[in-house]
Structure 1
Amino acid sequence: MLHAQHELQGRVLDASDNAPLEQATVYFPQLENGVITDTDGNFHIRQLPEGTYKLVVSMIGYAAFTQSITLGENNPSLTIRLRPSAIEMEEVIVSTPFHKLQRENVMKVEQAPLAEIRKNGSPTLAEGLRQIAGVETVSTGVGIGKPVIRGLSSNRVLVYTQGIRMENQQFGDEHGLGISDAGIESVEVIKGPASLLYGSDALGGVLYLNPQRYAPAGTAQADATALYFGNTSGVAANAGAGVSGEKWKFLARLARASHADYQDGGDTRITNSRFSEWDLKTGVGYASGRFKNDLRYNYNRSEPGIPEEIGVQGTDRTPLLPYQEIESHILSNTTEFFMKNSSLKVILGYVGNSRLEFEDHEEHAGEEDGEEHAEEEHGEEGPSLDMQLNTLNYNLQYQFSPSGDSWQTVVGLQGMWQENSNAGEEILVPDARTVDVGLMATSHVHFEKSDLQLGLRYDRRQIDSDAFGTPGESEYIGPLDRSFNSFNAAAGYRIDIAPRVIGRLNLASGFRAPNLSELGSNGTHSGANRFEIGNPDLENERNVQADLSLEYKGEHFELGINGFHNRIRDFIFIAPTGNTVEGDPEFQYRQQDATLYGGEAVFHLHPHPLDWLHLQSNVAVVIGELDSGTPLPLIPPVNWRNTLRVEWDKISSNLENFYGFLGLETYFRQGRPGDFETETPAYNLVHAGLGTRLPLFGNPLDIRIAANNLLDTKYIAHLSRIKADGINNMGRNISLGLSMTL
């Protein structure tokens, strides 16, 4: 009976007139198995194991349907009726362990399909994430960006891709996200401590990237996309293909992007903000009854320039000094075994990250305008920084449901082994080895109109590093042998206050072990023009966050309000000592308790009978300060986004999926800057775009045009790392995108 296989068939109809619905998605999220309905609304899913699983049926223009289905011998045929709705189609949340729709989830998780993010015309994934309320980006130009969730970033926000944690020396100020948006299906954002699920570094939240799904069983798919960005004279293209049989599945996608220096609102090009990228993603899946396996690989190579000053003007794409060469290899394998009322998931992963940085050397000091090219420097001196990081991840989860959906429990073992090594003439962190191990258990209990979720976790991290330099010299770094331990807990409650009103209350603790830079730095940080000294006696950062949310979802009106209070013990920050080393000011890492609080409000109006008209608005507020009263750095100002959007599924026989939008993005004055920051005045940005689908040689062609900063406003964002140099952000950027599905 271990390999027993079952089938499920049925029909999907429109609840208003019983018309069959073609192209509806019928999907078992936990099994990652599903099909698309045919012209008569029929579906037939094979290779299903015995047991009880959540079935989700979704289609644009209809409210998602979800139901627990018990699979066994002689499964009855299903008739499913979808109710028309102007509300956006819901998806299953993957970043939490119980595979619920968002309205059923105890923890509030923001989810955004990448197809919607791309409509805005952002040149990078990091920039596109700013559309999610409560999420911002710390940027160094356009090519380098990392996510900020409710005022926390870097090692306080964990990034997951292909089901494993992304490790790419993310502690560094100029170390970006390092992932292409090509081959990403959707993004999920957990705002607040998720250490219960993911361990250290999830103290501030999690950015969870869901990879592209395989084609439905028995089908083949292929598509290609080409993009042009006017501001950077940038071009980007990707092409992918996939084929799925009853058991085996395969997909592959290749992407390329190249951008010249961007122009600010005054038509000045920001020297060396150019960047380029290659990206390859592949996957092989197999599913048969009670067994499922998914093997994925991602190769990414990027060359971002690091802008420092305004110099040579032009559209050359060869990076100037300083610049980086970054390579990442991400290999993951997910195996899952399904029993009648339980399942075992085993996720194994490897992340190899190579980071080279080429900088000016003294012999080039006399050269003018920074015109020396990177390849010349590479041949003469080699990289200033040569950092190699290899990480092995493992995650074992056993889920059992002794009473169906009413009570589900997950117990897990999770950890990683990591080695950092240096081969350049400079170092940011010493050679070191990090070992993590964590044990966790969490349960979800479903009542008639409410849900309760409880969890507990224990983690241990061991860090061993080698000595660097000669004892007694100013840049000597002594060896480290530190261990960090932490217990964490989470409790959440969700309740149907009224037929269309949901309330959520979550309390969770989190932790973050100090990183190697904070523990072992002892040298000049050229990017910050300061001498940094680590503190080998630093303790864990620990926090407790309370989240309260209320959500109303009507047929033509939605409103959500989320508030949070985040108390962090032993918050790690850097401060001046008053001394100088070789002319550079000396800074040292210290600890003090800190508090962050604020929230988000989201409004969506789509009035009847004008269901094609949408008015969306969201506002995000974060306030953070140390107990001494000093504001925390990199706290985004109050942000208010308003968008007027129109959508028509079909205008004529040759014109489908038409949309248009006009948006106003307001950033209020940030009058409480952290140390080493300055105040940032308020500014407004106008965005617009439109798109449609039309047939070309019998295949659908999607066309989209977007204009960011339409009025060419000259501004500097508070979270720009080159703000101190007086360098502006990007001016008007008009982008054109073409996508064809075969």
Structure 2
Amino acid sequence: MPRLLWAQAGTLTGVVRDEQQRPVPFASVALPTAKLGATGDAQGVFRVTDVPAGPVRVVASAVGFTAASRTVTLAADEVLDVPLTLTAAPAALTEVVVTGVSRATEVRRSPVPIATLSRREITLNANTNVIDAAVRGIPGLSAVTTGPNVSKPFIRGLGYNRVLTMYNGLRQEGQQWGDEHGVEVDGYDIDRVEVVKGPASLLYGSDAVAGVVNLLPALPSGPEGRLRGEALTEYQANNGLIGNSLGLNYQKNGFQTSFRASNRMARDYRNAVDGLVYNTGFRELTLTGMVGLSKAWGSSHAYLTLYDNRQEIPDGSRDSLSRRFTRQVFESGLDDIKNRPLVSDDELNSYAISPLHQRIRHYRLFTKTQVHLGGGELHLLLGAQQNNREEFNHPTVRSQAGLALQLTTYTYDVRYHLPEWQGLQISLGSNGMGQLNRHQQATDFPIPNYDLLDAGSFLLLKKPLGKLELSGGLRYDLRLVNWSDFYVGPNPATGFDAQSRAGVPGAQLQFPAFRQQYRGVSASVGGSYLATERLTLRANLARGYRAPNIPEIGSNGLDPGAHIVYLGNRGFRPEFSWQQDLGVLWHQPTVDVSVEVFHNYVQNFIYQARLLNDAGQPVVIVPGNTTYQFQQAAARLYGLEASLSLRPAALPWLTSSSSFAFVNGENADAARLEREGPTARYLPLMPPLRGRTELRATLPAREGCRLTATYFRASLDGSARQNHFLALDNSETATAGYVLLGLGAGTTFASRAGRPVAQLVVQVDNVFDTAYQAHLNRLKYFEYYAASPTGRTGIYNPGRNVAVKLVVPF
């Protein structure tokens, strides 16, 4: 009889206490692998039933404390007592992660650099999206931005299709090649962010060559048979952001369900140079639901998410003397950028979405199943998602979309963790996707309709040898891309271009048929060594693989939201990277220190640069839009990240955390450098040297006081001047350095019984209203004039922002 039918369960009980052995009221206790959870009572006592027998990881957390984790072994029908102790300060090196590793692994034992961000840290900051929240807290992670609500994650200088973004393990597919295409996820729903820094192609295949950002929602928690949840509201003064969210969850006898509805809206943001920046507002609605079972045999959960965002599209057009923003009122043939009408103050202050905007609707449906089978564990993920993107750029026919793409993706991921044999852990599996991308009723066609099939298989090994733990593996990937002849011609009914057919008068072949296979082998070997109880050394060598994306090989048209005409190259080969990582980590009760250095050599690196004619002048195919052509060359990136956390024993209420990140990216093609000169030396979109320091004082709890976990914080976030930029053809320019001061405070209101009633957070970012441009801010280059009467060109980042957030659990 299969072992599956013999699955047995037990019960976990215990008390969550602090370092002084005082009970922590209403702490959350989660069993991530088993998809189970509970909330302790006023005395910190918890109980979790129907826990599968065998090894199980238990994680406890509470507001004002660092999450604590233990792994215990539970026998069938056993009631096991598991005491848990929380500390009042960060100790990230001992956290357990699941992203980028075959099985649950402690951060410091992973040879691949992994960083995490908790729900508490996300809540304590004022963010306009979850990627910005992660950038604040994770060194080595940066973002290319287009206004406050569009942030694309970059890891160690690499982004777009080189970073795989996932929602609860499901890869996010939403035209991520575009500059102004953000991540379609509800930030209020995210309980934890896990970031893999470096090639993660071994587990995830192409598109993870730079790393992975996994956005994880919360598990249901609380006593069985009781509806639990939270209501959240926030306001941000800079762009008038109003956010509201309601989350509910319920569990009983292994049945689990949760639901969340969130709505956010914002008008144009403000800074000291530009005033209100026209067309940077948005309206966003998200619905998320989950239903599942968690039993002794394993668990199975189904998720459904619906995302709808109307995002304005800035273009930066202005009056040349007053520098006030102007708006387009005619089509491109009649449009005179220098004589557009001024935007009124009413329009700048309005929450109404302007006619020129993009609308993104993203739907996900997927299941995650885990089964105890044959002494091991089988994991299966099956998903379907659809991304509908419309960019409205026709001022005279406002209902006519310029870009209208529908991307449908089907995803599978299956892996089996074999039973341990003499300490050796073996995991094998396969994952992949099928995609169909189709133009709808559009007038602009930057890429063709295409079909894509992607599949890969992998083998992972991990073996502890005393203080040394070794891990590694091998993966093979295959990707097939094809499309048919794609014609574009005039549509007499609308007066615009439209998709057409061969033989139709005026039809032109914009995308000739294409079919190509891409293959790649990924490999990794690394290890961690516990030199002492406090000192960990780790190293990893990885070979990553990435197939060219569709715009890189097939683009030939205008992306209206980006204001860029893209030109691809059908002959591109896959990218292959060789990355070396070395890390030193020190952990003790009062100090955490980590230093990570890396070197990454990329063969066939694909990047874009402005296209010039024979006279050295920029090529203009569509007036008012820049023309870029993708190119390929060898590249080299290297850098380091360091962090320091202090918790003075003499001042237990005070914590200090500092981080530092540096990356340098250079063109390694000697022939190209000789031909194009020193302006081509550096790679585009390299983040400058960046540092962040925060001091936080948490007041000790007082007997009978209704305010708990009260804190005050101050932060300095600085970026150095970026002189290492792609100067070829004026693709980029130098960016000045800056330092921003942030202040914050918060507290939790408790009932007479000690139960949290409400959490209040107040945050002030950019206290001195510093005028600055981040190097990865695309709006920096939205400028139509060679000079400005103020001496400042482009659009600046947001100025001072005062934010208030209220979270009410129930």
Rate the CA distance shift 1:109–1:699 in 2: closer, same or farther, 3 A: closer
Q: How many Å separate the matches in 1 of 2:561 and 2:85?
A: 56
Rate the CA distance shift 1:75–1:626 in 2: closer, same or farther, 3 A: same
Q: Does 1:51 align with 2:54?
A: yes
Q: Does 1:691 align with 2:746?
A: yes
Q: How many Å separate the matches in 2 of 1:151 and 1:708?
A: 25
Q: How many Å separate the matches in 2 of 1:653 and 1:687?
A: 28
| Residue aligning to 2:569 | 535
Q: Is the 8 A contact 2:447 2:557 kept in 1?
A: no
Q: Is the 8 A contact 2:359 2:390 kept in 1?
A: yes
Q: Does 1:678 align with 2:733?
A: yes
The DSSP-based 3-state class of the residue aligned with 1:308 is coil
Q: How many Å separate the matches in 2 of 1:534 and 1:4?
A: 54
| Residue aligning to 1:655 | 707
Q: Is the 8 A contact 1:522 1:534 kept in 2?
A: yes
Rate the CA distance shift 1:41–1:426 in 2: closer, same or farther, 3 A: closer
| Residue aligning to 2:431 | 414
Equivalent AA in structure 1 for residue 661 of structure 2 = A
Q: Is the 8 A contact 1:605 1:614 kept in 2?
A: yes
Equivalent AA in structure 2 for residue 208 of structure 1 = N
Q: How many Å separate the matches in 2 of 1:28 and 1:695?
A: 26
| Residue aligning to 1:571 | 605
| Residue aligning to 1:642 | 693
Q: How many Å separate the matches in 2 of 1:171 and 1:275?
A: 21
| Residue aligning to 1:320 | 354
**CA offsets 1:388-414 (integer angstroms, 9 cap, x no match):** 00000000111112348x322110011
| Residue aligning to 1:433 | 451
Equivalent AA in structure 1 for residue 477 of structure 2 = D
Rate the CA distance shift 1:117–1:393 in 2: closer, same or farther, 3 A: same
Equivalent AA in structure 1 for residue 640 of structure 2 = G
| Residue aligning to 1:668 | 720
| Residue aligning to 1:254 | 261
Among 457, 467, 470, the residue aligned to 2:485 = 467
The DSSP-based 3-state class of the residue aligned with 2:134 is helix
Q: CA deviation at 1:526?
A: 4.5
Q: Is the 8 A contact 1:58 1:64 kept in 2?
A: yes
Q: CA deviation at 1:61?
A: 4.4
Q: Is the 8 A contact 1:217 1:246 kept in 2?
A: no
Greater shift, 285-294 or 631-640, is seen at: 285-294
Q: Is the 8 A contact 1:247 1:288 kept in 2?
A: yes
The DSSP-based 3-state class of the residue aligned with 2:551 is helix
Q: CA deviation at 1:589?
A: 2.0
Q: Does 1:717 align with 2:810?
A: no
Q: CA deviation at 1:696?
A: 6.6
Equivalent AA in structure 2 for residue 185 of structure 1 = D
Q: CA deviation at 1:216?
A: 4.0
| Residue aligning to 1:373 | none
Q: Is the 8 A contact 1:306 1:321 kept in 2?
A: no
Q: Is the 8 A contact 2:8 2:76 kept in 1?
A: no
| Residue aligning to 1:370 | none
Q: Does 1:378 align with 2:398?
A: yes
Q: Is the 8 A contact 2:143 2:151 kept in 1?
A: yes
| Residue aligning to 1:130 | 135
The DSSP-based 3-state class of the residue aligned with 1:286 is strand
Q: CA deviation at 1:17?
A: 6.7
Q: CA deviation at 1:702?
A: 0.7
Among 335, 338, 345, the residue aligned to 2:372 = 338
Rate the CA distance shift 1:15–1:446 in 2: closer, same or farther, 3 A: farther
Gaps of 5+ in 1: 365-376
Q: Is the 8 A contact 1:645 1:660 kept in 2?
A: yes
Rate the CA distance shift 1:606–1:421 in 2: closer, same or farther, 3 A: same
Q: Does 1:623 align with 2:664?
A: yes
Give the fraction of aligned pairs with identical amino acids, expressed as a percent.
Answer: 29
**CA offsets 1:97-149 (integer angstroms, 9 cap, x no match):** 31123234332211001331231212222322221211111111112211111
**CA offsets 1:347-369 (integer angstroms, 9 cap, x no match):** 001110000001145xx5xxxxx
Gaps of 5+ in 2: 317-324, 327-342, 489-501, 614-618, 674-679, 784-793
The DSSP-based 3-state class of the residue aligned with 1:722 is helix
Q: CA deviation at 1:467?
A: 1.6
| Residue aligning to 2:108 | 103
Among 606, 610, 626, the residue aligned to 2:651 = 610
Equivalent AA in structure 2 for residue 257 of structure 1 = R
Q: Does 1:120 align with 2:188?
A: no
Among 262, 272, 277, the residue aligned to 1:265 = 272
Equivalent AA in structure 1 for residue 515 of structure 2 = D
Q: How many Å separate the matches in 2 of 1:661 and 1:85?
A: 15
The DSSP-based 3-state class of the residue aligned with 1:127 is helix
Q: Is the 8 A contact 2:69 2:95 kept in 1?
A: no
Q: Is the 8 A contact 1:114 1:181 kept in 2?
A: no
Q: CA deviation at 1:654?
A: 0.9
Equivalent AA in structure 2 for residue 536 of structure 1 = R
Among 275, 286, 295, the residue aligned to 1:288 = 295
Number of matched residues?
A: 724
The DSSP-based 3-state class of the residue aligned with 2:203 is helix
Q: CA deviation at 1:33?
A: 2.3
| Residue aligning to 1:141 | 147
Greater shift, 672-681 or 193-202, is seen at: 672-681
Q: How many Å separate the matches in 1 of 2:110 and 2:552?
A: 36
Greater shift, 732-741 or 303-312, is seen at: 303-312
Q: CA deviation at 1:57?
A: 5.1
**CA offsets 1:550-596 (integer angstroms, 9 cap, x no match):** 11112111211111101100001223453346476754322100011
Q: How many Å separate the matches in 2 of 1:116 and 1:474?
A: 53
Rate the CA distance shift 1:18–1:533 in 2: closer, same or farther, 3 A: closer
**CA offsets 1:3-55 (integer angstroms, 9 cap, x no match):** 53321344347597766665455543321224344456554432233433344
Equivalent AA in structure 2 for residue 459 of structure 1 = D
The DSSP-based 3-state class of the residue aligned with 2:291 is strand
Greater shift, 502-511 or 21-30, is seen at: 21-30
Q: Does 1:443 align with 2:461?
A: yes
| Residue aligning to 1:221 | 228
| Residue aligning to 1:368 | none
Q: How many Å separate the matches in 2 of 1:663 and 1:118?
A: 16
Equivalent AA in structure 2 for residue 49 of structure 1 = P
Equivalent AA in structure 2 for residue 358 of structure 1 = F
Q: Is the 8 A contact 2:290 2:303 kept in 1?
A: yes
Q: How many Å separate the matches in 1 of 2:222 and 2:307?
A: 27
Structure 2 counterparts to residues 5-404 of structure 1, below 5 A: 5-12=8-15, 22-38=25-41, 42-56=45-59, 61=65, 64-69=68-73, 71-73=74-76, 75=78, 77-78=80-81, 80=83, 82=85, 86-88=89-91, 91-95=95-99, 96-131=101-136, 132-216=138-222, 218=224, 219-266=226-273, 268-309=275-316, 310-311=325-326, 312=343, 313=345, 314-339=348-373, 341-360=375-394, 364=396, 377-379=397-399, 382-403=400-421
Among 635, 639, 648, the residue aligned to 1:594 = 635
**CA offsets 1:272-325 (integer angstroms, 9 cap, x no match):** 011110011110020221131011111111011111122323311222353100
Rate the CA distance shift 1:337–1:649 in 2: closer, same or farther, 3 A: farther
Q: Is the 8 A contact 1:658 1:690 kept in 2?
A: yes
**CA offsets 1:498-556 (integer angstroms, 9 cap, x no match):** 22111111111111111111111122444565543211111101101111111111211
Q: CA deviation at 1:73?
A: 3.5
The DSSP-based 3-state class of the residue aligned with 1:129 is helix
**CA offsets 1:654-706 (integer angstroms, 9 cap, x no match):** 11011111111111100121140010011111111100011379751111110
Rate the CA distance shift 1:632–1:653 in 2: closer, same or farther, 3 A: same
Equivalent AA in structure 2 for residue 112 of structure 1 = L
Equivalent AA in structure 1 for residue 147 of structure 2 = G
Among 498, 513, 517, the residue aligned to 2:551 = 517
**CA offsets 1:452-495 (integer angstroms, 9 cap, x no match):** 11111000000011222268988721111011011110112011
Q: How many Å separate the matches in 2 of 1:182 and 1:57?
A: 21
Greater shift, 564-573 or 652-661, is seen at: 652-661
Superposed CA RMSD in Å reads 2.4
Q: CA deviation at 1:68?
A: 4.0
Q: Is the 8 A contact 1:85 1:555 kept in 2?
A: no
Q: Is the 8 A contact 1:61 1:88 kept in 2?
A: no
